[in-house]
Structure 1
Amino acid sequence: MAIVRATLVFLASMFLIWSANASDPPKKVTVSLYYESLCPFSANFITNYLKDIFTNGLISIVDLRLIPFGNAKILDDGSINCQHGVEECELNTVEACAINVWPDVNDHFKFIYCVEEMVVNGTYREWKKCFDKFDDLESHQLVLDCSSGVHGRKLEYQYGAETNSLVPAITGVPSVFVDGKLANDTYAFETAVCEAYTGELPEACQEAKTTD
């Protein structure tokens, strides 16, 4: 009798585990964008391509990560040398801090999109106006304090270490990795996302198939 009871308990447990797994939603596709703030190609990609996933519904299946470091170099003395100069280092850190202060991708992307749109328009020195998109004045100060302090530098070191450890190494920016794999065509990353997703595809993927 004890054996039968144990068997029934085991089967019930296995059924519960199976049911839980069966009801789990498909895992989102991780999209990691490696870029630098003042790179015209990065700014163009963010404002004219990446933004589309927020309007066509693809963001519902994407875990988007933004890594603002690009072709910068960490020197032996601990300083960071950015491809487009000191202002780019400052803006890379500002955007890193925005990601840290506003972890919700919808929030920090709104800010970063605003800054990068200014890069495209040549008005990026007015980037603080992008704070106007957020009512929380305290968070504005948190971003400013982070970007001018030690924490902002630590964030950039972390992004630098991640960027420098990529396999394959990036040869330019913007570079997009989809679920850890370098996208063959950065500007067609949406196709790679749709191919990687294992659940029911959103309408954006269906439209992509009909236009191929």
Structure 2
Amino acid sequence: MLNKKQVIFCCMCLLIVHSEQQKINVAVYFESLCPDSQKFIIDQLYPNWDDIRDYINIKFIPFGKSISLDNGTKFACQHGSQECKGNRIMSCALREIPNQDLQVEYLRCFMDVYKFAKINDSENGQKCAQLLGLDYNRLMYNCYQTKEGTNLQLQAEIETNAIQPQFVPTIVYNGVFDQKLQDSSILNFRDTVCSLIRQIYPEGCSYRTVVQI
């Protein structure tokens, strides 16, 4: 027979598992130099992150409408070679960042500064890595410039091709693409997510008018 402490511990474990099971899975498929991707992360995701962070598991897939060539020897990207570079840097950085709060912080910074890479090829989001305490040089030498960086982008390609996005960024909920949710997310990401959250947690998200989807 379990003692009181063991019962309390078991109940806490069940609550944690239940909470994790009830979280909404959100996948964001995007590109480093896509203006719509920049706008989504900087203006839609980042400012509203605190309202939704406790209710979702978020995953970022930086690839978009890119393609691999010769088994990853080369990549071709919608906005040119600098975009391929940015996608690869983000793949390496995201692998090293331990939690989604810090990933959001990094991407907000990176998408803001990397747009200047079009006119300054030495801009690689160095300050964004430093902001998160990442060793930028190690990131570049041990991942970006190695087979590891290639493999991360090839995996991103596999995951992106499974969705076959027609628009970048594409936002997918619980593994299933829904055009209505996609359109709503681009216009108002917070209200879209909060509408889904409130189907599980009626008091979820801080109070604002929320669109019905």
Contact preservation (8 Å) 1:44, 1:120: no
Is 1:81–2:76 an aligned residue pair? yes
Deviation at 1:20, TM superposition (A): 4.0
Which residue matches 1:184? 183
In the superposition, the TM-score normalised over structure 1's length comes to 0.77
Q: Structure 1: which 5+ residue stretches go unaligned?
A: 1-15
- Seen in structure 2, the aligned counterparts of structure 1 residues 151 and 201 have a Cα distance that, compared at 3 Å, is farther
Q: Is the 8 A contact 2:86 2:114 kept in 1?
A: no
Q: Residue 194 of structure 1 corresponds to which residue in structure 2?
A: 194
State the AA in 2 paired with 1:147.
Y
Change (3 A) 1:89 1:176: same
Corresponding position of 2:5: none
Query: Do the aligned residues in 1 keep the contact of 2:27 with 2:59 (CA within 8 Å)?
Result: yes
The 1:80/1:201 distance shift into structure 2, 3 A limit, reads farther
- Residue 150 of structure 2: which of 153, 156, 165 is its match? 153
Secondary structure of 1:165 counterpart: helix
- Cα separation, partners in 2 of 1:75 and 1:62, compared to 1, 3 Å: same
Instruction: State the partner residue of 1:72.
Output: 66
Question: CA, structure 1 residues 106+142, in 2 after alignment: closer, same or farther (shift >3 Å)?
Answer: farther
> Aligned equivalents of 1:102 and 1:209: distance in 2?
32
Aligned residue number for residue 3 of structure 2: none
Q: Is the 8 A contact 2:195 2:212 kept in 1?
A: no
Specify whether residues 201 and 108 from structure 1 end up closer, same or farther in structure 2 by C-alpha distance, changes over 3 A only: same
Report the AA paired with residue 72 of structure 1: S
* % same residue: 24
In the TM superposition, residue 150 of structure 1 has moved relative to its aligned partner by 0.7
2:94 to 75, 96, 99: 99
CA 1:27–1:73: 2 relative to 1, 3 Å: same
SS of the aligned residue for 2:157 comes to helix
Question: Which amino acid counterpart does residue 187 of structure 1 have in structure 2?
Answer: L
Of 123, 129, 134, which aligns to 1:131? 129
**C-alpha RMSD of matched pairs (Å):** 2.9
- 8 Å CA contact 1:178–1:192 kept in 2: the answer is no
Given the superposition, is the C-alpha separation of residues 120 and 88 from structure 1 closer, same or farther in structure 2, using an over 3 Å criterion? closer
Deviation of residue 74 (structure 1)? 1.6
- Which of 115, 128, 143 in structure 1 is aligned with 2:139? 143
Question: d(CA) in 2 for partners of 1:134 and 1:210?
Answer: 34
Gaps of 5+ in 2: 1-9
Alpha-carbon distance in structure 2 between the residues aligned to 1:210 and 1:72:
33
* Separation in structure 1 between the aligned mates of residue 70 and residue 17 of structure 2, nearest angstrom: 51
For 1:153, give the aligned amino acid.
T
Q: Which of the pair has more CA radius of gyration?
A: 1
Question: Are 2:46 and 2:105, in contact at CA under 8 Å, matched by a contact in 1?
Answer: no
> Which stretch of structure 1 is more off in the superposition, 125-134 or 59-68?
125-134
User: TM-score, normalization: structure 2?
Assistant: 0.77
